[in-house]
Chains A and B, each alone.
Chain A
Amino acid sequence: MAINEKKLEELLNQYPTKVKRNRKKHLIIKDSSLAHQEIEANTRTIPGIITNRGCAFAGCKGVVLGPLKDMVHIVHGPIGCAYYTWGTRRNKAKSDDPTKNFINYCVSSDMQESDIVFGGEKKLARLIDEVMDIFQPNAITISATCPVGLIGDDLQAVAKAAQEKHGVEIMAFNCEGYKGVSQSAGHHIANNILMERVIGQGDWEEAPGKYPINILGEYNIGGDSWEVERILEEIGYTVVSVMTGDGSYEELKNAHVAELNLVQCHRSINYIAEMLETKYGTPWLKVNFIGVQSTIETLRNMALYFNDPALTQKTEEVIAKELARTEPIIEQYKKICEGKTAFCFVGGSRGHHYQGLFAELGIETVLAGYEFAHRDDYEGRDIIPEIKLDADTKNIPEIHVSPDERRFRLKLSPERLAEMKKKIPLSNYQGMNIEMKDGTIIVDDLNHFETEEFIKLLQPDIFSSGIKDKYVVQKMGIPSKQLHSYDYSGPYAGFNGAVKFAEDIAMSFATPTWNFITPPWKNKPLLEGTIVEGGCSVC
């Protein structure tokens, strides 16, 4: 069912005038006949609107730092923030050295009222000593929560002193929750410090194998990264590091030796991708390992980049083998899913990535959007120069890197780079909007009110988002798929992931559970009677 401007206007008219004016700019009905459709994104959340967005701390500690397994991630602040980021994202990690995998630990300074009054620096310093003693990690991160910045604890100074004392890298992140407008600010803060303090600190000058790559913006939710690595390694790539799913400090240190950086989640990691290009001359490729076709396209783009007939041949062999194995299974599930519609509202990249996978199952995405993306994630990177920097963005420090004197090396000649850029998304991202069909809805920072209204208008068959709206949607009798943490399932990336996803989605539709919603007595008329010829016998 299509939705027109009038319907959209009616929906927005339910808002107070000021809110309506604001929200209108975050909503688009896709129309390719227009030269360009602008969407507002990465601006302040309207208070009281029941957003799905989180905070800078969530983006920094929760998303980017959390998955790094050989580091201990200290949360400096009262207990809540540490507790709420304890294992909730389902970013999996395994380690050859079981004494160097701290992924299941939650470490906090648990600040009390007296720490707020007198400052928490001394407690933090003692805590770092204890952490070194208990865990002997390869490195430590310290993430700040709201009160830390307000009371003026100097995290950087504490970290510096501790680093001198213990001789391991100890990094402080000033990612207080009130910074920026969403998780996005925290991604940026984390990217900056990882680039400054970790990446390139290793002593490798050469990669340990052929076709060395880094996978950026892959967080190994439900084992996604493991499936992607399986495919890449079978083709013959050397995965130097993953940022940051199942990643480690030790791997990240040597990430500079890669010949190509793959960017899965553009939003959370594009800063590092860009800086790697400036500093080491390594271009990045926008990839998408969600969906069979996207995975194949990505693999072919990578082969084009490396331009080696043996690699291209192996790529095609693996694609053919995987297709032969997975296609017939997906085909079966497709029969159940065909013709259905979906909403796809997730974080900062999956709102886009999952549309292809849905399409492969015959499911059309009628509404999509991101929680915390910027305009370039919708409209493509070409509009970056047009984006006005507001105060919230300016408060997040920008770092500037310059070419590394020793290690900078152009991986492709300028001519070949220019040629490649025409063929594959090299150091470029076209955004989500371009791939959406006319008449579909694109919405930034969808809230609970709009969720309900759009469901009433468009009646999707499945709603994919996170746990906060999952139960609203299920109470409306519509299956939901958590695309943040996959409802305890996964992986959904690569070939095996596509099969798993198809199975899960088909199960959502085919489960007998939905058959019982209407009780039998609701199907029967309330009064029973027969019509007797010749009228009423009583009167």
Chain B
Amino acid sequence: MSRKATNFRDVNENPCNMCMPMGGILALKGLENSMVILHGSQGCATYMRRHIAEHFNEPIDVASSSLNEKGTVYGGEKNLKQGLDNMIKAYRPGVIGILTTCLADTIGEDIDRISQDYLVERGYTDLPVVTVNSPGYGGTHAEGYWLTLRRIVEKLARKTEPHTGINIFVPNISPADIREIKRWLELMQVSYTLLPDFSDTLDRPYQRPYRKMPEGGTPLADIAAMGGAAATLQLGVTLEDSMSPGRFLETEFGVPLYNLPLPMGVTNTDLFFNQLTEITGKKLPAELQQERGRLLDCMIDSHKYNGAGRSVIFGEPENIYAVTRTCLENGIYPVVIATGSKNPQLVTLLEDLLTHSPVRCTVLTEADFATIRVLSRGKANLAIGSSDGRYLSEREDIPLVRYGFPIHDRTGGQRLLSVGYRGTTYFLDQLTNTLLENKHKHYRKSIYQAFYLGINKTLDSAESGGEQHVL
């Protein structure tokens, strides 16, 4: 494996990530009866609502304090308070998230102080407010997501009587994935609190009459009780402690923390259930054992096609770690793995994982698509990641399997199921079928080239790739 921990250029050409408050909104949407207000220019809220709505095909109500030039000079306190007033009046939220943007942080707004004053002034003694400093320059949406989860727990978890429930923190996965994880826990009759649970709030059934506040989300009372849980399963092996909600619960309330990878692929899913059965003493239900068997059957059936796969994987650290493992298990060896985040932890983890991969692979952090594209050219035949990777298909003829966030050029991003034995089976079928389709699309041309023109064109694989490329 060769590392490329930093991008040597100053230009970011076709970004591979979004900004911090974007992730913050997603995390807060998984809280029951929550509303979010962004403190800054109204464009931030408008842009992020637009992008989230297009992925989930759902209404995304996010307020803004609509700061203008005056606010940048005299401070935005008045606007934020007025914004809170109007938002509370229209939505009656049970919890409020205040996220800062570039503007608010650059002028040094103290949202903690402002929100505390506000609650006292208005007499809202019971209204919990979660504040997060999430300037766009502070990190990517992935960091915004985890930091917000940590802030939610810091604000809402209490020291409570010990109970047998377990805490589960999930990375930015689809509502369908969250529903799947909940299904296992219910099958195993494990009492749990899963955060953030946007399985309903960001994927609502059609229902009449329309409700401004969607049903669902992690109940606040459950979060309050997280401090007394038997254990925390945090699907976040790439996390720094400062952004880890599980670490907070451990240091603050002594809840044992088990950091696990996102359960995609056999190994990761086995790890998950192993840990779960160890903690709870419950057995893996027959239904899930069957699903494991079916996944293995699928892997065996498809291995001869998968073996020809060479993947380029991009997205948020936690997700790409799990996808990489799934690819490695199936011989779809990665040639490029990239994230927009700065994440040294991820690089170390991938280094371990890739030790035995027969194909050289370049790992990029703080990556942009221009770099990903150059490094994948002629080496990969399968791209896995968000819809922003479509240029890899259009320009480099590398077909894209859409996974992660955002998916803007296809429908159903919220319904993609990729976790667990069953989800991995669906996911793997997609990878295999994409390889087969691609092969079918090109076989006449390749045969013609091989037998009539004598050009034997195969992917550069084991022998090359991964060296330092001139950009």
Query: CB-CB < 8 A to A53: which residues of B?
Result: 42, 46
Contact, CB under 8 Å: B47 / A48: no
Point out which of B72, B102, B212 has the most chain A C-beta atoms below 10 A from its C-beta: B102
Q: Does A416 contact B (CB under 8 A)?
A: no
Docked pose: A50 CA to B79 CA in angstroms = 14
Query: CB-CB < 8 A to B138: which residues of A?
Result: 113
Q: Which residues of B contact A (CB under 8 A)?
A: 9-15, 17-19, 21-22, 37, 40-44, 46-51, 53-54, 57-72, 79-80, 82-87, 89-90, 101-103, 106-107, 135-138, 140, 204, 206-210, 212, 340, 388, 391
A-B contact pairs, 25 of them (CB 8 A): A16-B89, A45-B66, A46-B82, A50-B90, A51-B64, A51-B66, A54-B47, A79-B15, A79-B140, A80-B21, A84-B18, A107-B11, A109-B10, A111-B137, A113-B138, A116-B106, A149-B72, A151-B106, A177-B41, A177-B43, A178-B69, A395-B69, A448-B61, A449-B90, A476-B210
Query: CB-CB < 8 A to A517: which residues of B?
Result: 206, 208
Within 8 A of B (CB), among A160-178: 176-178
Docked pose: A51 CA to B63 CA in angstroms = 8
Contact, CB under 8 Å: A105 / B13: yes
Docked pose: A79 CA to B17 CA in angstroms = 8
Contact, CB under 8 Å: A48 / B68: no
Contact, CB under 8 Å: B82 / A80: no
**Contacts A44-B66, A79-B19, A151-B106 hold; do A127 and B10 have CB atoms under 8 A apart?**
yes
Within the complex, what minimum Cβ distance (angstroms) separates A11 from chain B?
13
Contact, CB under 8 Å: B106 / A146: yes
Q: Which residue of B lies closest to A78 (CB)?
A: B136
Point out which of A50, A105, A448, A469 has the most chain B C-beta atoms below 10 A from its C-beta: A50
Contact, CB under 8 Å: B15 / A78: no
**Contacts A79-B18, A130-B11 hold; do A50 and B63 have CB atoms under 8 A apart?**
yes
Contact, CB under 8 Å: A178 / B137: no
**Contacts A107-B11, A517-B208 hold; do A84 and B106 have CB atoms under 8 A apart?**
no
Within the complex, what minimum Cβ distance (angstroms) separates A478 from chain B?
10
**Contacts A111-B137, A151-B106, A476-B210 hold; do A178 and B72 have CB atoms under 8 A apart?**
yes
Contact, CB under 8 Å: B40 / A146: yes
Docked pose: A466 CA to B87 CA in angstroms = 21
Q: Which residues of A contact B (CB under 8 A)?
A: 15-16, 19, 44-58, 77-86, 88, 104-113, 115-116, 123, 126-127, 130-131, 134, 145-147, 149-151, 176-182, 391-392, 395, 448-449, 452, 466-472, 475-477, 517
Contact, CB under 8 Å: A45 / B42: yes
Contact, CB under 8 Å: B12 / A147: no
Contact, CB under 8 Å: B11 / A475: no
Docked pose: A472 CA to B15 CA in angstroms = 30
Contact, CB under 8 Å: A105 / B41: no
**Contacts A80-B22, A82-B12, A130-B11 hold; do A48 and B86 have CB atoms under 8 A apart?**
yes
Within the complex, what minimum Cβ distance (angstroms) separates B216 from chain A?
14
Query: CB-CB < 8 A to A475: which residues of B?
Result: 59, 204, 206-207, 210
Within the complex, what minimum Cβ distance (angstroms) separates B9 from chain A?
6
Contact, CB under 8 Å: B204 / A147: no
Query: CB-CB < 8 A to B86: which residues of A?
Result: 16, 19, 46-49
Which 6 residue pairs spanning A and B have beta carbons closest together? A55-B43, A80-B19, A48-B83, A47-B83, A78-B136, A177-B41
